[in-house]
Amino acid sequence: MKFLYNLLLVIGIISFASCRDDFNFEPATGSELTFSKDTVYLDTIFTNIGSSTYNLKVFNKSNKDIKIPSIRLAKGENSNFRLMVDGMPGKSFENVELLAKDSLFIFVETTVDIKEETNGSEFLYTDEILFQAGSNQQKVNLVTLVKDAVFLYPQKFQNGSYESISINDEQVYGFFLDENDATNGNELEWNNTKPYVIYGFAAVPPNKTLNISAGTQVHFHRNSALIAFPTATINAQGTINEPILMQGNRLEPSFEDTPGQWWGIFIGQNSNAQFNNIQVKNAINGLFINANNGTAELENMQIYNCEQYGLLLATANVTAKNIVTNNCGKAALAITNGGVYDFVHCTFANYWSRQNQTVVIMDNGDGTMPFALQANFKNSIIYGNASESLVLAPANNQTNFNFKFEYSLIKFQNSGNRYNTDIFPYNFNNATYYSNNLIAKNFNEHQPYFSDTQKNKMMITEKATSIINYGNPFYAQQAPNDIVGISRLTSADLGAYQHITSVVD
């Protein structure tokens, strides 16, 4: 009986609704509509690469149900913008119904071929969404910045397969850079004329050199990377005023600091690397150097927002000056399987927001001679939001595990007394391994007072009195200017930056 009653009630409601006449839609006059914004700004896109989807909300502020006679793009079918109105894609719509006091979403996307629009390297592409109601017309502007670019990607063959390269006996989606490419010319010379967009693994062939000049911008698609094959060289020479930038190819602000958008830079066995004034961000591993040939030289290098490691060095040989890191999922610097390293005036920082991360990790593999470690840190900062910013993992106690920290700041709170600081390797009073360092054993001791760790502004400020002018002048001569070109010869602060006197925006 109860079921029958409920059934009759549902039927009655349906019948009542079907008999209502207040869903009769009146033609809009134009005075009823308001919009969530008067201009929809789509973020910067590369030529022929589709944008993300953006939305516009249209409100019917009146007390009557209306029918919008026309919603269309001003450039019509020739427009490079695409709309979706009430779930329907297109560029022109008629008699769009909108209930009283209700709203609807219009979704906007675009893809632009810059060569069809202009000969410039970038330009603003615009259009309008026109809302026509009788003689009354309202409009919302659409604006996006379009950049031209050099696109580098694996070739597609006639059988439908794609070019690939072999890495550790595994075929991966990738290609070798060609100095005589039919489309791009010499792909081993990158400059700042246009940005580069990389798809897949872009490899420098054996015995070849990739030269990257000042001001070059390189954007990597998901699952892409730059790799130097054995005996190859990557020579990236930016300047302080024109640094080289390497990051993902998503240009929306929401992706500006998102880790893990691309794989990173790989320097393979017996290959070579020189990096000067370069910023690497939003990778899985920023820079991985594995048993390189000779000495890899890194200077004025910034590495941010890496899903795993900022610098990952395996049995490598590296000299590094003015290196800055932050926001890395596992460690800012990881040295594994030994190697030879010299770090001068580096700021190894890590303020990753989740647990189980630190700043510097070092091990010497199984402890045998091929993996012997020799690492020196001078006038540097090792600091982050983890309790211990230094993790040392010698395989056979002190055998083949040699390091020294001099005139450096090390955060090591030894929470829960997990480490024995009376013995190797954390005996900070042992002059063989530690000399004239500042050990921050609590949150209030020797704080660097970085400018803004959330925005990767890792300059120490005037509050960091204990580390200002604490650097050894002899080591300062090895890196006479800080990462932005300020001399430190008369007063050397710790880390890659000389201190600033006020917080910058």
Q: State what percent of residues in the chain have pLDDT above 70.
A: 94
* pLDDT at residue 71 tops 70: yes
What mean pLDDT comes out for the span 63-80? 94
What rounded mean pLDDT belongs to the chain? 92
For tokens 């079918």, name the residue: 77
What is the spatial distance between Cα 459 and Cα 495, in angstroms, rounded to a whole number? 9
Tell which residue, 331, 273, 279, has the closest CA to residue 301. Answer: 279
CB 173 within 8 A of CB 152: no
pLDDT in tens, 350-387: 999 888 899 999 999 999 999 999 999 999 999 999 99
Which position has the higher pLDDT, 128 or 501?
128
Is residue 10 over pLDDT 50?
Answer: no
Q: In this predicted structure, what is the pLDDT of residue 503?
A: 54
pLDDT tops 80 at residue 234: yes
With cut-offs at 50, 70 and 90, classify the pLDDT of residue 441: very high
The mean pLDDT of 101-109, rounded to a whole number, is: 95
User: How many residues does the structure list for the chain?
Assistant: 505
The 3-state DSSP class for residue 3 equals helix
Q: Identify any residues that bridge with 409 across adjacent strands, giving them in sequence order.
A: 381, 438
Q: Rounded CA gap, 228 and 207, in Å?
A: 10
Rounded Cα distance between 275 and 297, Å, is: 6
The DSSP symbol for 388 reads: B
More confident residue, 14 or 432: 432
Per-residue HEC secondary structure of 175-211 comes to EECCCCECCCECCCEECCCCCEEECCEEEECCCCEEE
pLDDT digits (tens, 9 = 90+) for 184-223: 999 999 999 999 999 999 999 999 999 999 999 999 999 9
In degrees and rounded to multiples of 5, residue 340 shows phi and psi of -120, 125
- Is residue 392 predicted with pLDDT exceeding 70? yes
Q: How far apart are the C-alpha atoms of 485 and 497, rounded to whole Å? A: 9
| Cα 430–chain centre separation | 39
**What does the pLDDT look like over 414-436, one tens digit per residue?**
988 999 999 999 999 999 999 99
The Cα–Cα gap between 253 and 238 comes to 24
Mean pLDDT of 399-413: 97
Q: What is the pLDDT of residue 409?
A: 98
Domain locations in the chain as residue ranges: 26-147, 150-476
- Which token pair is 131? 């809302």
Given this model, what pLDDT does residue 135 score? Answer: 80
More confident residue, 504 or 296: 296
Whether residue 505 is predicted with pLDDT greater than 60 in this model: the reply is no
86 or 217, greater pLDDT:
217
Q: Can you tell me the distance from the alpha carbon of 177 to that of 225, in angstroms, rounded to the nearest whole number?
A: 12
Q: Which residues contact 184 (CB under 8 A, 6 or more apart)?
A: 150, 152, 178
**Residue listed under structure tokens 């930016």:** 238
Q: What is the pLDDT of residues 288-310, one digit of tens each?
A: 999 999 999 999 999 999 999 99
Predicted local confidence at residue 20, as pLDDT = 43
Q: What is the pLDDT of residue 223?
A: 95
Distance, in Å, from the CA atom of 414 to the CA atom of 419, rounded to the nearest integer, reads 6
How high is the pLDDT of residue 6? 47
Closest alpha carbon to 266 in 299, 237, 309, 301? 309
pLDDT for the residue numbered 2: 45
Question: What gap in Å lies between CA 420 and CA 413, rounded to an integer?
Answer: 12
HSE, side-chain direction, 13 A CA sphere, residue 213: 9
Cβ atoms 479, 345 nearer than 8 A: yes
Ranges of beta strands (E only) in 329-448 are 331-344, 347-350, 360-363, 373-378, 381-384, 390-393, 401-406, 409-411, 434-435, 438-440
Cβ distance 377 to 406 under 8 Å? yes
Lowest mean pLDDT among 133-147, 297-311, 443-457: 133-147
The closest of 311, 184, 281, 300 to 202, measured between CA atoms, is: 184
The pLDDT value given to residue 9: 45
Place of tokens 């430190």: 488
pLDDT of residue 23: 56
pTM (two decimals): 0.88
Which of 34-48, 191-205, 233-247, 322-336 is predicted least confidently? 34-48
Nearest to 344 by CA among 309, 304, 299, 388: 299
Residue 30: is its pLDDT beyond 90?
no
**What pLDDT score does 455 carry?**
95
SS3 state of residue 50 = coil
Query: Which of the following CATH numbers is that of domain 26-147: 3.30.910.20, 2.30.30.100, 3.40.50.300, 2.60.40.10?
Result: 2.60.40.10
What's residue 115's pLDDT? 83
Tokens of 501: 């006197």
Joined together, the tokens standing for residue 448 give 């660097």
